[in-house]
Structure 1
Amino acid sequence: MEAAEKGDADAVRDAIERGADLETRDGERHTPLLLASTGDHVEAAKVLVDAGADPDAVDHQQDTPWLVTGVTGSAEMAKVLAEAEPDYKLLNRYGGTSLIPAGEHGHVEYIREVTTNPKIDVDIDHVNNLGWTALLEAVILGDGGERHQESVKLLLEGGADKNIEDKNGMTALDHAEDKGQDEIAELLRG
């Protein structure tokens, strides 16, 4: 656990060779792979994935190693975890996929990886408990700047439905216009 959290891939490898339990849990139900994913310790995560660690282990907040990647925005971690074939249908505590927080944070490289990697099968139009998709969240919670503009562009190129309405009947375009996000609104009109 400690080696995974610190990102010490050699120590993780040594612990596994000594028979450490890949699925051991701390008080918050974190596994070593979840700790490595949260800390964006790609090499440590790769050692764990190669040893057979579970990419779908759920912690006390309904996070999994895969779901955490949407928050951290690590495209490299997404590649490593995709090799473990995670369940892309598992949802976080907000009822969302990994793409939704990635849209919020404007994680461009992550969105590019998830929407173009044929091994990754995340529902680009999944609607979370708030009634938002990744596209809606990129507009509603984004700042309209370059990262969010590129995120919106990538989501649209990945097949996101720009006509999905939130719980109030507003589309991403409606929100972009309301927020004065002119560049994003132009992308959404295209």
Structure 2
Amino acid sequence: MKRRTLITGWLVATLAATAPAWAQVGPSPGEAAAYSGLHAAAQQGDAAKIARLAASGAALNATDARGRTPLHVATFARQREAIRALVKAGADINRLENDRYDAVTIASVADDEESLRLLLQLGASAKQTTSRYDGTALIAAAHLGHDGVVRQLIAAGAPLDHVNNLHWTATIESIVLGDGGARHQSTLKALIDAGANLQLADRTGQTPLALARSRGYSAMVAMLEKAGGQ
């Protein structure tokens, strides 16, 4: 058990140290200022210009140096009318950029519930495998304790028990990468209520309940025990 705890602790610490290099990368101010065409219109939220450019044959899924389409740019910028205009014109709503993030995951990581709600209403999928971790938007949101986002994604059919390449589920990430506070507790409750598998363990064999106990997250422990976690 001590060795397992050391391994898990090392992995969490390693992730914390390398997170900036592995995280989503939105357009920098310099990149945004240099945009033209649809990328510029998306960044600025100019829906009328998007419609005009689309009607004239502009490439809706053109990419910048990091593989971001105008839709990715609009999502990073929280430009919801631009999102709507791009999708109406035929932009690929589920496309991945170079780091393998889609618009749904971008909005989820940003805790941008309004943009996420719009994307899902427009037909975006909550089921895609995204990121270098082979994860999902739900796993990313659970990691961050974005409980409202988590509830939206669950309602949209996000896979509750997807296991990423760290061998973690959304339930496990809500514990091992969370702080045990109110929003991570709310996230865990949403996953439990939705029927997430509480017996799926990490690669060292520790279940969500064991992980919560090892961190002293008493509220999470109580929830998991009540739900039948072992």
CA drift at 1:135: 0.8
Q: Deviations over 1:51-89 (max 9, x none)?
A: 221022221111122232331232322222222343723
Report the TM-score, using the length of structure 2 for normalisation. 0.75
Task: Note the aligned Cα RMSD (angstroms).
Answer: 1.8
Between the aligned residues of both structures, percent identity stands at: 34
Match of 2:212 in 1: 176
Query: Per-residue deviation at 1:151?
Result: 0.5
Tell me the CA shift for residue 162 of structure 1: 1.4
- From 40, 46, 59, the equivalent of 1:21 is 59
Is the 2:126–2:137 Cα contact (8 Å) retained in structure 1?
no
> What letter corresponds to residue 150 of structure 2 in structure 1?
I
1:36 aligns with 2:74: yes
Task: List runs of 5+ in structure 2 lacking aligned partners.
Answer: 1-38
Letter aligned with residue 134 of structure 2: G
- Paired residue for 2:186? 150
Q: Which has the higher contact order (CA 8 A, sep 6+)?
A: 1
How far is 1:163 from its partner? 1.3
1:108 equivalent in structure 2: 147
Distance 1:87 1:22, change over 3 A: farther
Q: How many residues align?
A: 187
Q: How far is the alpha carbon of 1:93 from its aligned partner?
A: 1.4
More helix by share: 2
Greater Cα shift, 15-24 or 126-135? 15-24
Q: Secondary structure at the match of 2:67?
A: coil
| Residue correspondence of structure 1 range 78-117 to structure 2 within 5 A | 78-82=116-120, 83-86=122-125, 88-116=127-155
Unaligned runs of 5+ in 1: none
Query: Hey, what's the Cα distance between the residues in 1 that align with 2:47 and 2:209?
Result: 45
Matched, 1:51 2:93: no
Identify which of 106, 118, 121 aligns with 1:68. Answer: 106
Distance 2:89 2:54 in 1: 8
User: Does structure 2 retain, via aligned residues, the 8 Å contact 1:49–1:80?
Assistant: no
Q: CA deviation at 1:3?
A: 2.0
Q: Secondary structure at the match of 2:148?
A: helix
Distance 1:15 1:178 in 2: 56
* Counterpart Cα distance in 2 of 1:144 and 1:128: 21
Instruction: Name which of structure 1's ranges 139-148 and 180-189 shifts more when overlaid on structure 2.
Output: 180-189
Distance (Å, rounded) in 2 between the aligned partners of 1:3 and 1:112? 31
